[in-house]
Chain A
């Protein structure tokens, strides 16, 4: 799969997952990698970029063992963006399915 396209899809998945519950980076990777072939070097830059774009905020939580964890939580702007992505994604998939199903001209 084209890596740029894959990254876009993963970005949307990350947004959706964190909109459901606050998660730390490793948790995001573990959850997403059950379904899609991804690694840390793909997910962490996405988390950083979305945080920079103010779609996420972060807070740290100290652990009884090991280093404190950085949790990501979605912002209002993030929620808005996610709804936008979902809408675009559904329209896109509708189009793809119509083409794959050989019904390009049917709406």
Chain B
């Protein structure tokens, strides 16, 4: 039991550039801690719960250490050849089949290959997150151009934050994971309900977010009262709206009890360590997205959602790397604006050349 726990920890530590002495120290510390809990009468499961699963604690233990790099076979050649391969593929698709658009999409393989090679070296858990902007852009354009589904195709962009949360799941407990995913589940559910004509009632699914979030509150009595008042509000809202269809504008009053109770117990914290500015920026970008969308600009309103990751990059990324990290977003905006409004997809793909060009210039 103990040895399997320590073995797993050791194999995870082996994934980092770390002195053997440091690894030995960590393993012997955990050996000692394990023994101490067992001596206190805890069983294996309880002890592991106390110490934390190796996969969930490894990030904390290896802070400041680099991951061991294991280049994928042939990866450097793939990066070097990809521009030529994609150019040839682009010309074949263009001249041979008159598929200049969407043939330009093959150029996305250049940054995708570079990301896979670079992040694959360290088996980075966020590899799929890094590729997801390309994947969702292609899917969004495909659904938009071929099926004219700009709305609700924008939902595919939720893949990016969903993967971001999912790929961080080992560092959070189940409730935190569900809480983090709840805004996306609610948004997708809202859109699906809306497509079936339930726009008015549909917004209720957003109540899932606080209904799950409040479960973090350790005061069970408060949780039960809050959940009960919320369910009462939902039931009352639906009843008022459906019995008297013209009463939707007053139906929200059924939520007054839960709003008042929330204010009374408003010391619970579901925002974790998310700084205030991030919350403000997220709210502003979502509002802008909805505003432009409902004004009839769904095809570009998703730009507003890019504000969130771009703001995070500006705030968090080192100055030197900031513009490199921002370049994919800038490229996507330029590409789509030129392509959509000037119908110049055959030219606008060149915007993606900004990404490798920026990286080369900054690293030169």
A residues sitting closer than 8 Å to B (CB atoms) are 2-3, 24-26, 29, 39-42, 44-45, 47-48, 65-67, 69-70
8 nearest interchain CB pairs?
A26-B36, A44-B29, A41-B57, A66-B35, A67-B35, A41-B60, A40-B33, A48-B25
Using Cβ atoms and an 8 Å threshold, which residues of chain B touch A2? Answer: 273
Using Cβ atoms and an 8 Å threshold, which residues of chain B touch A44? Answer: 26, 29-30, 33
Contact of B273 with A66 in the complex, beta carbons under 8 Å? no
Task: Return the chain A residue nearest B50 by Cβ.
Answer: A40
- Can you list 9 A-B pairs with a CB-CB distance of less than 8 A? A3-B273, A26-B36, A29-B33, A40-B33, A41-B60, A45-B61, A48-B26, A67-B32, A69-B32
Using Cβ atoms and an 8 Å threshold, which residues of chain A touch B25? Answer: 48
Extra inter-chain contacts (4) besides given A25-B32, A29-B33, A66-B35, CB under 8 Å? A40-B33, A40-B52, A44-B29, A70-B28
- A24-B32, A26-B33, A67-B35 are contacts. A41–B52 as well, Cβ < 8 Å? yes
Interface size on B, residues (CB 8 A): 20
Give the CA-CA distance A39 to B47 in the complex, in Å.
Answer: 12
Contact of B39 with A25 in the complex, beta carbons under 8 Å? no
Q: How far is the CB of B28 from chain A (nearest CB, A)?
A: 7
B63 at the interface (CB under 8 A from A): yes
Give the CA-CA distance A26 to B51 in the complex, in Å.
Answer: 11
Give the CA-CA distance A60 to B126 in the complex, in Å.
Answer: 41
Contact with A along B18-54 (1 / 0, CB 8 A): 0000100110111111011001000000000011100
B residues sitting closer than 8 Å to A (CB atoms) are 22, 25-26, 28-33, 35-36, 39, 50-52, 57, 60-61, 63, 273
Contact of B52 with A39 in the complex, beta carbons under 8 Å? yes
Q: How far is the CB of A10 from chain B (nearest CB, A)?
A: 13
Using Cβ atoms and an 8 Å threshold, which residues of chain B touch A45? Answer: 60-61, 63
Task: Return the chain B residue nearest A29 by Cβ.
Answer: B33
Give the CA-CA distance A86 to B28 in the complex, in Å.
Answer: 31
B39 is contacted by which of A42, A48, A66 (Cβ under 8 Å)?
A66
Task: Return the chain A residue nearest B52 by Cβ.
Answer: A41
Task: Return the chain B residue nearest A2 by Cβ.
Answer: B273
Q: How far is the CB of B273 from chain A (nearest CB, A)?
A: 7
Q: How far is the CB of B345 from chain A (nearest CB, A)?
A: 47
Q: How far is the CB of B139 from chain A (nearest CB, A)?
A: 37
